Amino acid sequence: MIEQRPDAQTAKQELVSMYPAKLAKKRATQVVVNDVPESGIVPEILVNSRTAPGIISQRGCTYAGCKGVIMGPTRDIVNIVHGPIGCSFYAWLTRRNMTLPPTPQSENFMMYAFSTDLKEENIVFGGEKKLDAAIQEAYDLFHPKAISVFSTCPVGLIGDDIHASAKRMKEKLGINVFAFSCEGYKGVSQSAGHHIANNQLFKHVVGLDDEIRGSRKFRVNLLGEYNIGGDAFEIDEIFKRCGFELVATFSGNSTYGSFANSHTADLNMVMCHRSINYVAEMMEKKYGIPWIKVNFVSASGTAKSLRKMAAYFEDQDLMDRVEAVIEEEMAKVEVQRRKYAARTRGKTAMLFVGGSRAHHYQELFKELEMKVLAAGYEFAHRDDYEGRRVLGTIKIDADSRNIEELHVEADPEKFRARVDSEAEARLAARGFKFKDYNGMMPEMDPNTLIIDDISARDTEKLIEMWKPDVFCAGIKEKFVVQKMGVPCKQLHNYDVGGPYNAFRGAVNFYRDIDRMVNSPVWKLTLAPWQESAEPALEASVA
């Protein structure tokens, strides 16, 4: 019952007060009671800061963000992990990012785990020779278009020069070989790995192939979509029906060639702002491609994003086609939405995941007429919480300075401004905004709790206090949460469900959430000795 919940301020005090004084002071700036004044200026939150040693939080490492997240979904690059075998095993297709090669014979290396399998001996005497040999072996076996190398923690400590090795082998083999210094400890979370992946992809691949391919004239890239559970397939299908030519996705269902060709698109759409805004910014500077924020999670978000894409191209036929697709799909979705919302209305949810889904998935809960009580990211930055308006005020600390900021200038030959000042004025007059992201907090209710980098202990306490009908997180949290009698929906890999994007995906989500929040099984989770006040066993000390 809502009435019995402690209010947000009391709940915050409870969460923060369990830490030692110094840490409690810091946590108090990472746990925020949301407030959305007229101005839209939400309270400041401390984020992207090191997790205190000893605290079990949801975060992953820099290598996970680079190799697993950004580069993982590309099927035709051989990704070699330079490090002990455990790192490679950890990143082996655990994220459910799917791919669809054009024929069964087409290259697809995603089901393999390539590793140099570093041993103690290599840690002592160096592993560069082993890396050269691994690149050679992968080339001999598969003859791929490109090979990339990822370093894990020990490699950074012993100082193997993976970039020198990549350069040597590139010259020797005549294919593109490039490397990522994405040692796990390099940043405070996965987020640093995103940035490193963006940089190297931009430096070594984007812009290599200028040929204009495809028959449709509205050429777009979708950035920050990773085809978890087949999401990208849903979006692709809608794009085709509307008449957009999808040149590249970074990086769901992607190929090396699509990255190389991506600078020939005329618009970049950014879905996951956290993981890929760097490439969007760099492509704008170097090639003149503007970017807009989109969200294909939820039916209403999909409709809004499609309209924005069509508005950009200022083409009446395109706008008409987009409207027709939206009308047809929304009619179908709405029937289902009403059916499910009748069963989910008023139920409550919490979302603690990643750096964008904790925000995007709130749209689907709105469509289900559910209430979000609390949310937070694992590794997002202030702009993802408070909006890009705070970008100029974010303090750069030593950890962020550790990650290279590429200096990018307009390409003397390939830069082409896609919108002139007249078009820009026309679009602005219609309320169209480029590079615009308001973040999660302004779209949440006041007096909800925003918690950055939630810990295992915070999670338990929060559930105890506010018992939600569904808790959204990942595999590390899932079973702890469920033992407390609350269903946990994994928003990283969708459990075995999905796709959840675009129109059909939204309906899949409605159905799966209805099943979870209305299942009677969660009331049956007490052990016999918890069910009654009577002791189950009696004994006395002799």
**Spatial separation of the C-alpha atoms in residues 31 and 379, rounded to whole Å:** 14
CA atoms of 117 and 205, how far apart (whole Å): 27
Are the C-beta atoms of 176 and 144 separated by less than 8 Å? no
What's the order of all strands across the beta sheet hosting 244-251? Answer: 244-251, 218-225, 267-270, 291-293
Retrieve residue 331's tokens: 């009619």
**Alpha-helix runs per DSSP H in 104-143:** 120-125, 128-142
Site string for ligand CFM, 196-225 (x = CB under 6 A): ----------------------------x-
Q: Is 226 in the site for ligand CFM (CB under 6 A)?
A: yes
Cβ 228 to ligand CFM shortest distance, Å: 5
Closest CB 124 distance from ligand CFM, rounded Å: 34
Q: According to CB under 6 A, which one of 30, 356, 448, 455 is a site residue for ligand CFM?
A: 356
Side chain identity at residue 515, one-letter code: R
| Binding-site string for ligand CFM from residue 265 to residue 284, where x marks contact by CB under 6 A and - marks none | -------x-xx---------
The H-or-E segment that residue 147 falls in is strand 146-151
Pairwise CA distance, residues 490 & 506, whole Å: 15
Residue range at the interface with ligand CFM (CB under 6 A); choices 44-52, 78-86, 209-217, 348-356: 348-356
Cα 511 from Cα 85, distance rounded (Å): 39
Q: Who's near 534: CB < 8 A, 6+ residues apart?
A: none
- Candidates 64, 91, 265, 473; catalytic one: 64
The nearer residue to ligand CFM, 128 or 236, going by C-beta atoms, is 236
Nearest residue to ligand CFM, using CB? Answer: 354
Question: Residue 162, Cβ neighbours under 10 Å: how many?
Answer: 23
R_g (Cα) of the chain, nearest Å? 24
Is 190 a residue that touches ligand CFM (CB under 6 A)? yes
Q: For residue 497, state whether it binds ligand CFM (rule: CB under 6 A).
A: no
CB-based contact 256:266 (threshold 8 Å)? no
Q: How far is the CB of 305 from ligand CFM (least distance, A)?
A: 15
Name which of 244 and 379 has its Cβ closer to ligand CFM: 379
Task: Note if 64 is an active site residue.
Answer: yes
For every residue of 248-299, which 3-state class applies, written as one string? EEEECCECHHHHHHHHHCCEEEECCHHHHHHHHHHHHHHHCCCEEECCCECH
* Catalytic residue (choose from 96, 194, 263, 504): 194
Closest to ligand CFM by CB, 353 vs 374, is 353
Query: Residue 229: left if φ>0, alpha if ψ -120 to 50, beta else—which one?
Result: left
Binding mask 94-113 for ligand CFM (x = CB under 6 A): -x------------------
- Give whichever of 74 and 190 is closer to ligand CFM, judged by the CB atom: 190
- Candidates 355-363, 399-407, 408-416, 526-534; binding stretch for ligand CFM (CB under 6 A): 355-363
Shortest Cβ distance from residue 68 to ligand CFM (Å)?
7
Is 95 assigned a catalytic role? yes
Taking the complex as a whole, how short is the minimal distance between the CB of residue 307 and ligand CFM, in angstroms?
A: 22
Q: Would you count residue 69 as binding ligand CFM (CB under 6 A)?
A: yes
Query: Given the structure tokens 């030519």, which residue do they identify?
Result: 245
Among 355, 439, 497, 505, binds ligand CFM (CB under 6 A): 355
Structure tokens at 398: 């030593």
Residue 293 near residue 437 (C-beta atoms within 8 A): yes
Is residue 347 a contact partner of residue 370, using CB atoms and an 8 Å limit?
yes
Q: Does residue 357 interact with ligand CFM by CB under 6 A?
A: yes
Choose between 135 and 473: whose C-beta lies nearer to ligand CFM: 473
Tokens of 259: 């990255």
SS3 for 70? helix
How many residues sit close enough to ligand CFM to count as binding (CB under 6 A)?
16
Q: How far is the CB of 493 from ligand CFM (least distance, A)?
A: 7
Confirm whether 331 is a catalytic residue: no
Residue with smaller CB distance to ligand CFM, 228 or 292: 228
Examine residue 362 and tell whether it contacts ligand CFM (CB under 6 A): no
Based on CB atoms, which residue is closest to ligand CFM, 109 or 379?
A: 379
Does residue 228 belong to the site contacting ligand CFM (CB under 6 A)?
A: yes
Q: Choosing from 8, 11, 61, 91, which is the catalytic residue?
A: 61
Query: C-beta of 229: minimal distance to ligand CFM in Å?
Result: 10
Known catalytic residue at 61: yes
Going by the DSSP 8-state scheme, the letter that residue 67 receives in this structure is: I
Per the structure block, which two tokens stand in for 292? 């807009």
Which range touches ligand CFM (CB under 6 A), out of 45-53, 86-94, 112-120, 352-360? 352-360
Question: Do residues 513 and 470 lie in contact, with contact meaning Cβ atoms separated by under 8 Å?
Answer: yes
* Pick from 334, 347, 360: nearest CA to 275: 360
DSSP state of 71: I
Say how far apart CA 381 and CA 398 lie, in whole Å.
Answer: 15
Q: Shortest distance, CB of residue 139 to ligand CFM, whole angstroms?
A: 29
Per CB under 6 A, the list member of 127, 301, 354, 468 interacting with ligand CFM is: 354
Contact pick of 492, 506, 507, 512 for ligand CFM (by CB under 6 A): 492
Cis status of the peptide bond prior to 251, with omega within 30 of 0: yes
- Please, which of residues 431-490 interact with ligand CFM by CB under 6 A? none
| Chain residues that interact with ligand CFM, rule: CB under 6 A | 65, 69, 95, 190, 224, 226, 228, 272, 274-275, 353-357, 492
Q: Catalytic residue numbers?
A: 61, 64, 95, 194
